[in-house]
């Protein structure tokens, strides 16, 4: 078990120009609030923040980020989708950084409902192209993840570190006090992620579409926004499990039963 509040962050990948950092998570589930994890990529001194989250997380995430990089050097913020646990802090982040925001074009018109947003700084992924090139020349790839669960959803693959940030995909909810940073025993981890995926992923057909793309990328690590990080054998085990999972409308009777 990991006391995440004391850790403040874990560097998942590091070379001379490039780092991929797990920024922490709430160490205790606040009642009624889903636990979230944030990540920071630093490439040649410039920062990319992944799903930095909402208002109530803001002070913790700012403190974690500031251990690694000056806020002025955050140039990009990626939102996997529109949910408040991902993006409701947008007005605060636009205020303390110079960053541009990348999100599916489906959600651009909804973001101002989270606060004052400068539209020039918000980029629709469908229009920006598949790759984001970083100062070192390394690339990040936007991976379509639609209907998993959001209809306008992306994962982000960092080619240099071989880490896939998967947003809600792979996410799980631990019982209080049972949080782990890594899902190294995949079989043991299934109960943590099963309910989340069965209810939130639209169907096995979309899950398989995403798994096919990700298996071709062959990432070393899959880092979700909730739950625990997959590495080593648990990456392939998770993808195999997801590719056969019956979920969403495959289980329609489950969600409509009395
Ligand atoms: Fe979500
Ligand atoms: Fe989420």
Domain boundaries, the chain: 4-250
Q: What does the alpha-carbon distance between residue 74 and residue 89 come to, in Å, rounded to a whole number?
A: 15
Give the number of whichever ligand sits closest to the CA of residue 225: 2
Tokens 């990529």 belong to which residue? 41
E strands present in 116-197 = 122-124, 131-133, 139-144, 154-158, 163-167
Give the number of whichever ligand sits closest to the CA of residue 200: 1
Give the number of whichever ligand sits closest to the CA of residue 153: 1
Residue 18 Cα to ligand 2 middle (Å): 26
Peptide bond into 149 cis (omega under 30): yes
So what's the pLDDT on residue 181? 95
> How far does CA 172 lie from the centroid of its chain?
12
Average predicted confidence (pLDDT) for the chain: 94
CATH architecture of 4-250: 4-Layer Sandwich (3.60)
Contact (CB, 8 A) for 45 and 73:
yes
Output the six-digit token pair for 113: 């409902």
**CA contacts within 13 A on the Cβ side of 18:** 15
Ion ligand 1 neighbours (CB, 5 A) are 83, 168
The model's pTM: 0.95
Residue 244 Cα to ligand 2 middle (Å): 22
Residue 83 Cα to ligand 1 middle (Å): 5
So what's the pLDDT on residue 30? 63
So what's the pLDDT on residue 2? 54
Q: How many CB atoms lie within 10 A of CB 63?
A: 12
Output the six-digit token pair for 139: 């690339």
Percent of the chain with pLDDT over 70: 95
Give the number of whichever ligand sits closest to the CA of residue 224: 2
Higher pLDDT, 32 or 22: 22
Residue 149 Cα to ligand 1 middle (Å): 6
């Amino acid at each position: 078990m990991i006391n995440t509040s004391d850790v403040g962050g874990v560097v998942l990948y590091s070379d001379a120009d490039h780092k991929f950092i797990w920024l922490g998570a709430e160490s205790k589930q606040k009642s009624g609030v889903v636990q979230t994890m944030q990540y920071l990529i630093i490439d040649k001194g410039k920062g990319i923040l992944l799903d930095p989250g909402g208002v109530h997380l803001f002070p913790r995430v700012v403190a974690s980020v500031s251990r690694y990089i000056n806020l002025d050097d955050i140039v990009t913020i990626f939102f996997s989708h529109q949910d408040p646990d991902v993006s409701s802090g947008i007005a605060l982040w636009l205020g303390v950084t110079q960053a541009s925001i990348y999100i599916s074009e489906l959600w651009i018109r909804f973001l101002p409902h989270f606060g004052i947003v400068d539209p020039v700084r918000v980029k629709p992924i469908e229009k920006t192209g598949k790759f984001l090139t970083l100062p070192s020349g390394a690339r990040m790839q936007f991976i379509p993840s639609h209907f998993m669960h959001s209809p306008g959803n992306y994962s982000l693959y960092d080619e240099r570190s071989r880490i896939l940030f998967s947003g809600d995909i792979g996410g799980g909810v631990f019982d209080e006090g049972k949080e782990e940073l890594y899902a190294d025993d995949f079989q043991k981890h299934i109960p943590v992620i099963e309910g989340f995926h069965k209810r939130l992923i639209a169907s096995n057909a979309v899950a398989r579409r995403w798994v096919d793309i990700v298996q071709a990328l062959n990432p070393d690590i899959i880092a979700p926004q909730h739950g625990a990080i997959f590495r080593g054998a648990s990456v392939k085990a998770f993808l195999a499990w997801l590719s056969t999972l019956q979920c969403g409308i495959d289980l329609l009777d489950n969600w409509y039963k009395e």
